[in-house]
Amino acid sequence: MIHFQKLNKMKKIFTSFFLLGMAIFSNTQDVLAQNTDKKVFDYVNRLYASLELSAEANQKQYDEGGVIFDKSAFNSLIDENSKLSEKRLDMLTGEYHERCNVELQKIDSVSFIGDKIIVYTKVLYTLDEMGGFYNNEKLEITKKGDNLVLLRWEDIKLYKMEKLEYEHMDGYKESDFYESVGSINK
């Protein structure tokens, strides 16, 4: 009977220490997750921002031309084997880049699956003489050394179209948008 009482007392002590340890571990994990989420949010903001020029540079390109889009910032954020639409990248950064703009509206969610980080975003594309197109996108990111890099950029669904009233926009639909800007999965 004495052994049973000692065993019960030791069990209570162990359980208390275990629960305290779990609480400390959980709080540490929460802090790590917040720091990791902040890094992911910063990365995603930098990724989309690297595909945007200032309003002044866009206006200069429109008025005079000759503004070369420097893709080095974008290229530093992607893996050399990234899967993304080259057509879209060319529209955003090529010779006529002032005619197509991208703007991150919102990061909907961030999840961690194995060594991958899955980020769902809402993005606005403004296309010259076409309108504004709001797209849900999925980014697959991983850590490479100390940096985050893009592995895959997919389209989920166009959730809103603000088409300009041009004749060529009559009947324009979601599939036309993906044909216009390019997509690896639509």
Q: What is the pLDDT of residues 157-184, one digit of tens each?
A: 999 999 999 999 999 999 999 999 999 9
* 38-181: CATH class: alpha beta
- Tell me, yes or no, if the pTM score tops 0.85: no
Q: Please count the CA atoms within 13 angstroms of the CA of 160 that sit on its side-chain side.
A: 9
- Report how far residue 110's alpha carbon sits from residue 135's, in angstroms, rounded to the nearest whole number: 17
- Report how far residue 82's alpha carbon sits from residue 78's, in angstroms, rounded to the nearest whole number: 6
Structure confidence at residue 26 as a pLDDT band (50, 70, 90):
very low
- Report how far residue 172's alpha carbon sits from residue 170's, in angstroms, rounded to the nearest whole number: 5
Lowest mean pLDDT among 23-32, 50-59, 144-153: 23-32
- Report how far residue 138's alpha carbon sits from residue 99's, in angstroms, rounded to the nearest whole number: 24
Share of the chain above pLDDT 90, in %: 65
Q: Which residues of 82-100 are buried (b: 16+ CB within 10 A; e: fewer)?
A: bebbebbbebbbeeebbbb
- Report how far residue 185's alpha carbon sits from residue 155's, in angstroms, rounded to the nearest whole number: 7
- Report how far residue 88's alpha carbon sits from residue 93's, in angstroms, rounded to the nearest whole number: 9
**What residue type is assigned to position 147 of the chain?**
N
Nearby residues of 90 by Cβ (< 8 Å), 6 or more positions away: 182
Residue position matching structure tokens 């603000």: 162
- Report how far residue 156's alpha carbon sits from residue 158's, in angstroms, rounded to the nearest whole number: 7
